[in-house]
Amino acid sequence: MKKVVCFLFFFISFFAQAQTTGYNISVTIKPYKNQYLYLGYYYGKVKALADSALSNSQGVAVFKGAKKLSGGIYFVVSPGKERILFELLLDKQQQFAIVADTTNLPASVNYINSPENKLFQNYSKFATENGQQVARLASMLSTANATDTAIINGEIRSLTKKMQLYRDSVTTSNANSMLAALLQSLKEPIIPATDKHPGGKYDSSFAYNYFKSHYWDGVKFTDERLIRTPIFEQKLDKYYKDLVVPDPDSLQKEADAMLAKAKPNKEMFKYLLTYFVQKYINPEYMGQDAVFVHLFEKYINNNAQVDWFTEKYKKYMSDRAYSIMGNLIGYTAQNLNLVDTAGTPTPLYKVNAAYTVIIFWDATCGHCKEVVPKIDSLFQTKWKQQGVAIYGVMTDGGKAAWLQYIQQNNLKDWIHVYQTEAQRDTETNAGKPNYRQLFDVYQTPVLYLLDANKKILAKKLTWEQINELLAAKVKAATGK
């Protein structure tokens, strides 16, 4: 009893003396003594450290600072930084204590003077138990007969509804809490029953539009606490992967709408703009680099308010933007005033063909040596008959190696070109961009597909993808 009284006296004294501003979080974790503990946080999918504290001989470590920490999901990390011990919420109340035992985590964690973390802990316990029951029932489906399957699915639906009711009750009774914001982020729209669809019949378009239009219900784009959770970025990823049409116009429209909602909160605006830049500066799908160019021109270039990027990254963005601007899908490719193997001027615009495949390659590049023969095989057996010309640009490796490779591999009927040193020097002295910048060539091989008017149909695809696209174009044009 004496120990309990002393323990409570310590924490009463601790909170009486705690500052009213800033944060002061006492953490006692058995058996850690005289060791550093760490306080970390999420920034989207990234984990970072916010503070460290040395535990004393009684095992008490105190994380403290004069300025409050930004709200979000935080976590305590063990000495040596080898594992996350448990998570906690930080919001308005940042003066509290935690007691835990590593032999029984997270069940042993006790929050003192932190109602929100108690709420979070109760929710986590309920969600875990509910999830375990659902998983147990789901594992029975593979061996269940039809009657049992119906019963099991009914029980799963009942547990799912129970979970949602619990979440709704927490959200309603704690509307402005950090936990409520998290639960709103986790919530997904429930598509109306079939009889509520137009005409009383299931309509996939109606279901999609309903789900998409209600996907962000309850989520505030000015709530920067969401940034410091892994949940918000996961929700963003799903939205742009599954619900937004992946063409540049649609993506730009969606990004602009989100950034407009977030603009009143600089931290959320900063997070979203950085998220979009990183997603589309080197996009997963061809043509989506147009989204990055749009973002750069509208929000970044010559904008003093966008001050969080380093000078190095600003230069990188600027270089990428100006490299991409002139070779977006649907644009006319820039002319290439290069010379052939004999030194004769052979501009790209002089190539007369239904389609032109440009390949930027290096005779000493290992990947090029694998790709070039495959391209030539397709060219000789198929592409010629489809009206394709190959404009092969030597980028590196030296002229001697280039000529030798052409001869040894019998790359006949290609238009082989390169840029002379004199041409390069003249271009540099005149302050003109070179072909590497104009065609965004910073590795090899790089392939472009142009139409008869030298409009860019595709870029940076594999030779297999170029072949498939050519076949589709030829079929659409000739019916064969």
∠ Cα 117 120 125 (to 5°): 125
Mean pLDDT of the chain: 92
Assign 336 a pLDDT band (cuts: 50, 70, 90).
very high
Cα Rg of the chain (Å, integer): 31
Q: Classify 311 in phi/psi space as left (phi over 0), alpha (psi -120 to 50) or beta.
A: alpha
User: For residue 326, what pLDDT is reported?
Assistant: 84
Interval 15-32: pLDDT, tens: 444 446 899 999 999 999
In 3-state terms, what secondary structure has residue 32? Answer: coil
In 3-state terms, what secondary structure has residue 292? Answer: helix
User: For residue 9, what pLDDT is reported?
Assistant: 45
C-beta separation of 32 from 79 below 8 A: yes
DSSP state of 295: H
User: For residue 369, what pLDDT is reported?
Assistant: 93
- Please determine, for residue 7, whether its predicted confidence score (pLDDT) is greater than 70: no
Interval 446-468: pLDDT, tens: 999 999 999 999 999 999 999 99
Query: What is the rounded end-to-end Cα distance, in angstroms, of the chain?
Result: 90
Alpha helix (H) ranges present in 92-224? 115-140, 146-173, 178-186, 204-213
How far is the C-alpha of 122 from the C-alpha of 185, rounded, in Å? 18
CA dihedral 141, 142, 146, 152 (to 10 degrees): 0
Unique residue bearing structure tokens 């409009």? 455
CATH class of 339-478: alpha beta
Tokens representing 141 are 């489906």
CA–centroid distance for 368 within its chain:
30
C-beta separation of 61 from 97 below 8 A: no
∠ Cα 270 272 273 (to 5°): 65
User: For residue 20, what pLDDT is reported?
Assistant: 60
User: For residue 1, what pLDDT is reported?
Assistant: 45
Largest distance between two CA atoms of the chain: 98
How far is the C-alpha of 188 from the C-alpha of 409, rounded, in Å? 58
Assign 433 a pLDDT band (cuts: 50, 70, 90).
confident
* 352-375 as b/e: b if 16+ CB within 10 A: ebebbbbbbbbbebeebeebbeeb
Which has the closest alpha carbon to 294: 335, 262, 247? 247
C-beta separation of 379 from 467 below 8 A: no
Interval 114-125: pLDDT, tens: 999 999 999 999
Q: Percent of the chain having pLDDT more than 90?
A: 86
- β partners of residue 72: 90
Task: State the burial class of residue 142 (Cβ atoms within 10 Å of its Cβ: 0-12, 13-18, 19+).
Answer: exposed
CATH class of 2-113: mainly beta
